[in-house]
Amino acid sequence: MKIGKILPALAILAISFSSVNAQDAPKGFEKGKVMLADGSTVTGYVKEKIRGNASVTVINDADKKKDNYDGNELLSAEVGDEKFVCIKGDFFKVINDGNLRFVQKSSDASGKPIYNGNQAVFANGTEGKPGDYFFYNESTKTLKLITKKTITAAADECLAGCDTAIAKAKAVSDDISQVGEAVAIYNNCGK
């Protein structure tokens, strides 16, 4: 067989493989899963609308049904490689995971209506604004805002019992995103 005939055949084969891969995820969706407030999990393709309106759309793997969930209906969500925890209707991106989590607020659900039947109740959401960093204690379900002004008190309170982690958190000057290293130390302290 001549090379001139093989190359077009290979090009057609490559196009067919790439179109199969492109059809895996619907446009705007990524593989992921959500954990509902009742503890059940729904896996499938997830489209995040977290920053826009504190919600996600999921195409369920089981029945291909498309459902919308807001932060009040979820405990957590995974969209591609990103993991989020949902607290009082808001989504928080998990930067460091463990019993103590270092999270970044990704949505603002304050003022968003929640319906109880046909009655609208407005959510208070959580303190802070999108982009702010927090400690989140998984066992006590407490959220602590971290700012340049509060880092010392927050570290003393949330990292108590691990002096190395406290020192690391207090050593962070202007870049609060570096507190994640202290949380990693804390979660491994005494192991």
Listing DSSP states for 40-102 in one string gives -EEEEEEEEEHHHHSEEEEEETTT--EEEEEBTTEEEEEETTEEEEEETBEEEEEEE-SSEEE
Q: Please report the pLDDT score of residue 119 as a whole number.
A: 60
| Closest to 106 (Cα-Cα) out of 94, 98, 97 | 94
| Closest to 169 (Cα-Cα) out of 108, 177, 161 | 177
**Average pLDDT by consecutive 10-residue portion of the chain (191 residues)?**
51 41 73 95 94 91 91 94 94 95 91 58 74 94 93 94 94 88 92 72
48 is written with which tokens? 């995040």
Q: Please report the pLDDT score of residue 110 as a whole number.
A: 72
Q: Please report the pLDDT score of residue 173 as a whole number.
A: 73
Q: Please report the pLDDT score of residue 126 as a whole number.
A: 84
Listing DSSP states for 134-179 in one string gives EEEETTTTEEEEE-TTTHHHHHHHHSTT-HHHHHHHHH--S-GGGH
**8 A C-beta contact, residue 165 and residue 129:** no
Indicate yes or no: pTM above 0.85: no
Q: Please report the pLDDT score of residue 6 as a whole number.
A: 52
Residues linked to residue 104 through DSSP beta bridges, in sequence order? 93, 133
